[in-house]
Structure 1
Amino acid sequence: MRIALCGGTGDIGEALALRWAYDTDHEILIGSRDPERARGKAEEYVTELDSRGVEADVKGFANEMAADRADVVVVAVPAYHLVDTVEAIGDRLDPDTVLVTPAVGMKRDDSGLHYNPPSAGSVAALCADAAPDDVSVVGAFHNLAAGRFADLDAEVEWDTLVFGDDADAKDIVTLLADEIEGLRPLDAGGLANAGEVEALTPLLINVAMHNEGMNDLGVRFQ
């Protein structure tokens, strides 16, 4: 399967690229608005994986080209870049493409970070509104500590909540998440539940900020 990570040069994009390339045989396409940056980061990832004895298939392209070649497209960009990115790649997506959003809207004040949903109600809803009508949107990978997740020496025992209205698309993302060692996907229902999932991220960051030794905090439901 071809997985494109639009914004694959950022924190969560890097973590997902490395983990999928390390744990699976999928072809990983790194996307960026700057194709040279995408190619440079893809080379970095290949070098890292090669040092661990893994021959990975990772290539860099402009976001549009990466999306055009992919079966699953993860829009791994901050919430404020999401609509522009989805609109830029929209004509490269077909009805069989699964579009995945891990983005969360947050704002900071003196008390910490707070969930800041857009007028659509959630970032996932914003993504669905920007995407072509025939493209399925799935939310996943919101509540992961990207720094630890990108460290292939670090063991993780985390859950990721997966939600969406298309059961088949959600199954595909669930299987892809389950292929990552230490990551357990859990079904969180439909897109209407996006806000509850997205709001966990600022909560986890606040807990990590105020408690020593919890800077790489994740969630595990028991």
Structure 2
Amino acid sequence: MRVAILGGTGDIGEGLALRWAYHTSHDIVIGSRDPQRARSKAEEYETELSSRGAETTIAAAANAEAAAGADVVVAAVPAYHLADTIEQVEEGLDGETVLVSPAVGMQRDESGMHYNRPGAGSVTALAADAAPDDVAVVGAFHNLAADELANLDIDLSLDAILVGDDEDAVDRVELLADGIDGIRALRAGSIDNAAEVESLTPLLINLAMHNDELHDVGVRFE
């Protein structure tokens, strides 16, 4: 499977790229608004993987080029850049593409982080509104701690909650999530349920801020 990670130079993009390149045989391509930055980060990831005995090639390109021809496109960009990023790459998306949104809208004040629910109902719904009509959208990976994900020395034990309206698309993302050692994909229904999933993220950040032992806290349901 060819997986394009738009914003693959950022925190969550780095973690997903490293884990998929290390644990799976999927073809990974890093996308960025700056193709040179994408190439530099891809080389950095390759060096990290090589130090662990994994000789893996990670491609890099500008976002639009990265998205074109990918089976799954992960828009690992902040919520306020999400719609613009999707619009910039939409010519490379088609009915065979699955678009994944891990973005969460948040605001911070003196009390901590708070969920900032957009008018669309959720950030995943915002992505679905911005995507071409024939492109299936799945919300996933909202609640993963980026630092923990990117640290290959850490053995993960986390759940990735998936929401989506297209069962085949959710199946594909479930396969991707389960391909990372220590991550279990759990389905939470349609995109209508995305706000409940996304709103867990500011809670987890607040827990991490106030409890040293929970610096990289995630979720695991038993």
Query: Shared topology, TM-score over 0.5?
Result: yes
- In 2, Cα distance between the equivalents of 1:55 and 1:165? 37
Q: Structure 1 residue 34: deviation in Å?
A: 0.3
Q: Structure 1 residue 213: deviation in Å?
A: 1.3
> What's the counterpart of residue 93 of structure 1?
93
> What's the counterpart of residue 112 of structure 2?
112
Letter aligned with residue 110 of structure 2: D
Q: How many percent identity over aligned positions? A: 66
- Does residue 1:164 correspond to 2:164, yes or no? yes
> What's the counterpart of residue 194 of structure 1?
194
In the alignment of these two chains, the number of paired residues is 222
Larger deviation, residues 99-108 vs 206-215: 206-215
Letter aligned with residue 80 of structure 1: Y
Q: Structure 1 residue 55: deviation in Å?
A: 1.5
- In 2, Cα distance between the equivalents of 1:95 and 1:156? 33
Q: Structure 1 residue 69: deviation in Å?
A: 2.6
Letter aligned with residue 136 of structure 2: S
> What's the counterpart of residue 60 of structure 1?
60
Letter aligned with residue 210 of structure 2: H
Unaligned runs of 5+ in 1: none
- Does residue 1:22 correspond to 2:46, yes or no? no
Which secondary structure does the structure 1 equivalent of 2:94 belong to? coil
Q: Which runs of 4+ in 1 moved over 4 A?
A: none
Letter aligned with residue 174 of structure 1: E
Which secondary structure does the structure 1 equivalent of 2:100 belong to? strand
> What's the counterpart of residue 4 of structure 1?
4
- In 1, Cα distance between the equivalents of 2:32 and 2:151? 21
> What's the counterpart of residue 177 of structure 1?
177
> What's the counterpart of residue 128 of structure 1?
128
- In 1, Cα distance between the equivalents of 2:56 and 2:193? 35
- In 2, Cα distance between the equivalents of 1:197 and 1:212? 24
Q: Structure 1 residue 212: deviation in Å?
A: 2.1
> What's the counterpart of residue 211 of structure 1?
211
Which secondary structure does the structure 1 equivalent of 2:40 belong to? helix
Query: How high is the TM-score relative to the length of structure 2?
Result: 0.99
Which secondary structure does the structure 1 equivalent of 2:137 belong to? strand
Which secondary structure does the structure 2 equivalent of 1:213 belong to? helix
Q: What root-mean-square deviation, in Å, do the aligned CA atoms of Structure 1 and Structure 2 show?
A: 0.6
- In 2, Cα distance between the equivalents of 1:117 and 1:87? 21
- C-alpha contact (below 8 Å) 1:26/1:57 kept by paired residues: no
- In 2, Cα distance between the equivalents of 1:212 and 1:36? 37
- C-alpha contact (below 8 Å) 1:6/1:74 kept by paired residues: yes
Kindly provide the CA deviation profile for residues 104-131 of structure 1, in whole angstroms up to 9, marking residues without a partner as x: 0000011100000111110001000000
> What's the counterpart of residue 42 of structure 2?
42
Letter aligned with residue 74 of structure 1: V
- In 2, Cα distance between the equivalents of 1:199 and 1:6? 23
Q: Structure 1 residue 63: deviation in Å?
A: 0.2
Letter aligned with residue 57 of structure 2: D
Q: Structure 1 residue 210: deviation in Å?
A: 1.0
Kindly provide the CA deviation profile for residues 156-175 of structure 1, in whole angstroms up to 9, marking residues without a partner as x: 10001011000000000001
- In 2, Cα distance between the equivalents of 1:212 and 1:145? 14
Q: Structure 1 residue 208: deviation in Å?
A: 1.0
- In 1, Cα distance between the equivalents of 2:4 and 2:92? 12
- Does residue 1:103 correspond to 2:103, yes or no? yes
Letter aligned with residue 44 of structure 1: E
Which secondary structure does the structure 2 equivalent of 1:174 belong to? helix
> What's the counterpart of residue 153 of structure 2?
153
